[in-house]
Structure 1
Amino acid sequence: MSPTHDTVILDVDGTLADTNYLHTLAWARAFARVDLHPPMWQLHRAIGMGGDKLVAAVAGDGAEQEHGDALREAWEEEYAELLPEVRLLPGARDLVLALADRGLTVVLASSGKEQFTQHVLDLLDLPEGALAAQASSDEAEESKPEPDVLEVALDKVGEGSALLVGDTPYDVAAAAKVGAPCAAVLTGGFGDEELSRAGAVIVVDSPAALVDLPSQTWADLLHAVPPEHAATTFSPLPDPPSKAGSGS
């Protein structure tokens, strides 16, 4: 039997907080500032990877070279304007508390900026000790689907074996690269079949559904291993355009 995972790493955007579509809107407005207009469905399907990868993924290398830093700065400004609209997903707070009550080490790890993760923490309003640590993209060299932010999270709690709860194929891939299985929720807007195909060991509707899982199912998850193919990112995006302006 595989070793028991005694740490659960929780993604934030799309997993605990209903933010993926707000991020999509913020990116669309950022791109519009430089007269680029990639379709919003493509932007949505890139949410979950970091901004260091998103620009090229949806608008091509030319857009990254010409506008990358300006777009990331614009996204941060646009998303900050949307923060008052951020809401927790059903069961988000209950999930953190239930995991802590099981005696598990609970860590947050987000590809988002630390200030935005802190906003979600304020909404969660957790009692002292419920979270062991938190990590954000500000502390990681590369963002998901690379595993850097997960490695930072594990280093902070001195653990090497964990289960990730996430909502995108990028979460599944990042987890697998550190040998962690990924339990996926549908609240980020990705489908059951594609999350399963990416290598998620279970897919459920929401954080609330995870709270309601039978004890035996949780025991199975805490002994699960990621399938071998999960470390290879299942791309939910079409090939990006080759020229900066072709996303319009």
Structure 2
Amino acid sequence: MHDLVIFDCDGVLVDSETMSNQCMIDNLARYGLELGLEDALGFFVGGTMSGVMEKARELGADLPDDWLEEIYGEMYARLQAGCPLVGGIPELLDALDAKNVPFCVASNGHEAKMQITLGQNGLWDRFSDRMFSAYTHGAAKPDPELFRIAARHFGAQTPVVIEDSRSGVTAAISAGMRCLAFAAHDDGAELRDLGAEVFHNMHDVPELLAL
């Protein structure tokens, strides 16, 4: 059995990716960049907001220097209005607790964002002391160091990562960790090609982890 489960946050614990990316689409349209949801998900999922800013400028968006402050404000407001959990997450966390398997979250997102999304769903208390943010630790996926920091914190020898993005899967595989890839909206072929074990329903994870 694994001695640590490392969760990504957006798209794995909370169903926030579509909401966050639609917010970015609406914002970027004001700066001359028209994107569809599929394009935005392909360009931005799993990245940092500074990376989003850089990519958007490459694609032609005329962004002001204070754009990060602006988009954070708009995105946080939209998420605060309501961001549901991914189905099956409460049951999975309960199953891990029942087997005394520790878990944590390691995300490229800011802790303030996780406080909004996890806080409104009753998970903040379960993760607040086991949270690893790229903004805090200075290591953003696909750099594997964020996962290594989490594993060292728990003294884990056989951690498993649950991810949903290219950058996250790449980081987990580079760290030498088993990676389960949650593909909620497609067949997950790209993530499988990167070395992850793809699944489509969070209720399947207890069996995959032999809980």
Q: Under a length normalisation based on structure 2, what TM-score does the superposition of the two structures give? A: 0.84
- Give the length in aligned residue pairs: 209
Contact 1:133 1:156 in 2 (8 A): no
Q: Which residue number corresponds to residue 234 of structure 1?
A: none
Matches for 1:1-248 after TM superposition, within 5 Å? 5-45=2-42, 46-60=44-58, 67=63, 69-83=65-79, 84-126=81-123, 133-187=130-184, 189-200=185-196, 202-211=197-206, 213=207, 217-219=208-210
Q: Deviations over 1:62-92 (max 9, x none)?
A: 75xx737533222211111211221011111
Contact 2:104 2:127 in 1 (8 A): no
**Compared with structure 1, are the counterparts of its residues 172 and 41 closer, same or farther at alpha carbon in structure 2 (3 Å cutoff)?**
same
Query: Percent sequence identity over matched residues?
Result: 24
Task: Note the C-alpha offset of 1:218.
Answer: 2.2
Contact 1:172 1:181 in 2 (8 A): no
Q: The residue matched to 1:144 in structure 2 has which SS?
A: coil
Where does the alignment leave 5 or more consecutive residues of structure 1 unmatched? 223-248
Where does the alignment leave 5 or more consecutive residues of structure 2 unmatched? none
**Compared with structure 1, are the counterparts of its residues 181 and 58 closer, same or farther at alpha carbon in structure 2 (3 Å cutoff)?**
farther
**Compared with structure 1, are the counterparts of its residues 5 and 210 closer, same or farther at alpha carbon in structure 2 (3 Å cutoff)?**
closer
**Compared with structure 1, are the counterparts of its residues 111 and 124 closer, same or farther at alpha carbon in structure 2 (3 Å cutoff)?**
same
Over the residues paired in the alignment, what is the CA RMSD in angstroms?
A: 2.8
Task: Note the C-alpha offset of 1:144.
Answer: 1.8
Task: Note the C-alpha offset of 1:34.
Answer: 2.7
Contact 1:9 1:164 in 2 (8 A): yes
Contact 2:163 2:169 in 1 (8 A): yes
**Compared with structure 1, are the counterparts of its residues 156 and 186 closer, same or farther at alpha carbon in structure 2 (3 Å cutoff)?**
same
Task: Note the C-alpha offset of 1:176.
Answer: 1.4
Whose radius of gyration is greater, 1 or 2? 1
**Compared with structure 1, are the counterparts of its residues 47 and 13 closer, same or farther at alpha carbon in structure 2 (3 Å cutoff)?**
same
Q: The residue matched to 1:85 in structure 2 has which SS?
A: coil
Q: Counterparts of 1:85 and 1:127 in 2: how far apart (Å)? A: 15
Q: Which residue number corresponds to residue 232 of structure 1?
A: none
Contact 1:6 1:161 in 2 (8 A): yes
Contact 1:161 1:179 in 2 (8 A): no
**Compared with structure 1, are the counterparts of its residues 130 and 21 closer, same or farther at alpha carbon in structure 2 (3 Å cutoff)?**
closer
Q: Under a length normalisation based on structure 1, what TM-score does the superposition of the two structures give? A: 0.73
Task: Note the C-alpha offset of 1:140.
Answer: 3.0
Q: Which residue number corresponds to residue 226 of structure 1?
A: none
Q: Which runs of 4+ in 1 moved over 4 A?
A: 126-132
Q: Counterparts of 1:181 and 1:205 in 2: how far apart (Å)? A: 17
